[in-house]
Structure 1
């Protein structure tokens, strides 16, 4: 009697089926592992794409934004102007942070923030050379004319470098003159009650260093004025001599003239 009988045909078939199933399962798991290691298609792979209703970010949206230049960063001081240029400026403060990218903005800043106009009427910018021009300012549409002289300086920004008035002609001091206290003024004017207001400002200061008045004409023609103004002289630095006429109606600024000045020690 044979102690190790051969397996039946049905038994052999069962063994073959089990082996085949095991091999197939192993092959599937190997394929899955290879795809994950290679980053193949799948939810978390680098080539994965979202559904059509919620597309993933594009390459453009993922790119880093440009780095701001130093002049664009909050709190970054502007480039300093050469001393020779700074001495020609009446507005804004050449040593401060305020700057204007257009001549219109520089004219508006001078008229409203420095000279004190209220709701002025602005004319068109009249180009001179490629870096300069002028712009007329009026208190009302048919009011006196203040002509703001504008220039783009070496830092690429626009500045007011002077202001002339149809009602005030300043002869002394001239632009960029060195002054001490008292400062002597002369010229001609036409104003309500003949009164022209005078202020001496240092660059970067809100309050004037000194104020006063000179008396010119009050009739239809300009008439001469002369006088002197006491002011607190720091002895060095630069600033602005501002003259203005007030409106007879409400006391607001009617017209203004201004020149840059330098401060010299008392004689």
Structure 2
């Protein structure tokens, strides 16, 4: 008697059906997995996949911050100012290479480079019209006021075009006058020992063409001064390359402490032709 009889035909058919069902179920499961990997929702929306290290959507770039321009622009000589504009300037040289991008820097250049303030205290720029204004300078806190007049000229840069002092009032010569040598001066002042210094500069020169003093008041009130100053007149063709043929008449009161400028006044002048 056979202990392991062969399975009947019905048994064999049942095994075949079970195997086929298992194969179909496996195929369906594999298809589901593939669909989820290929078409499921990803980090960036349906139908996309993103690896852990890949960037997401790019953001709009912020505009770059503007590059700050230097306030002093030395270098190749800029285009010359018209002669009529150059004749109004006391600082810097309208035919030179030094230029200022702000009124504050132009005021500082005049105060420290020409007038001789050692460590000045600056006020705020007070706007006049769209292209001009003024700024107060003091040698110390509470010191005498020097008011620097400033203007942006046609080349877009800022220039000092005059300076007034609480201690010096210059009446003659006036801004823009043609002067010869000697130059007569008159006005009002008050100063230590009544002494007001005077210097004449051509545009673009660091050494004065002439120096002198005038004597005004030394008390609490402004008092008259008058006098004349000899200077080396280079003539109307002198000055900067702008052809202005002039420069700056500077009046100042020196500090008793260290000889630096205590206050100053200045006007632009033309140089009369030599006889």
Q: TM-score under structure 1 normalisation?
A: 0.72
User: d(CA) in 1 for partners of 2:98 and 2:235?
Assistant: 25
Which consecutive residues of structure 1, in runs of 5 or more, have no partner in the other structure? Answer: 1-51, 53-71
Secondary structure class of the residue paired with 1:255: strand
Map 1:102-251 → 2, pairs under 5 A: 102-236=102-236, 237-251=245-259
User: d(CA) in 1 for partners of 2:87 and 2:73?
Assistant: 27
Cα deviation, residue 187, structure 1? 0.1
User: d(CA) in 1 for partners of 2:126 and 2:77?
Assistant: 30
Deviations 1:174-219 (A, max 9, x none): 0010000000000000001000000000000110000000000000
Cα deviation, residue 133, structure 1? 0.1
Equivalent residue, structure 2, for 1:257: 265
Greater shift in the superposed pair: 142-151 or 246-255: 246-255
Q: TM-score under structure 2 normalisation?
A: 0.70
Is 1:181–1:266's contact at 8 Å kept on the other side of the alignment?
Answer: no
Deviations 1:45-94 (A, max 9, x none): xxxxxxx9xxxxxxxxxxxxxxxxxxx99832212100000000000000
Equivalent residue, structure 1, for 2:21: none
Is 1:138–1:146's contact at 8 Å kept on the other side of the alignment?
Answer: yes
User: d(CA) in 2 for partners of 1:99 and 1:216?
Assistant: 36
Cα deviation, residue 258, structure 1? 0.2
Equivalent residue, structure 2, for 1:75: 75
User: d(CA) in 1 for partners of 2:256 and 2:205?
Assistant: 28
User: d(CA) in 2 for partners of 1:222 and 1:249?
Assistant: 22
User: d(CA) in 2 for partners of 1:174 and 1:73?
Assistant: 31
Extract structure 1 runs of 4+ deviating beyond 6 A. Answer: none
Cα deviation, residue 248, structure 1? 2.1
Secondary structure class of the residue paired with 1:227: strand
User: d(CA) in 1 for partners of 2:96 and 2:106?
Assistant: 14
Look at both structures and tell me which one has the larger radius of gyration over its CA atoms: 2
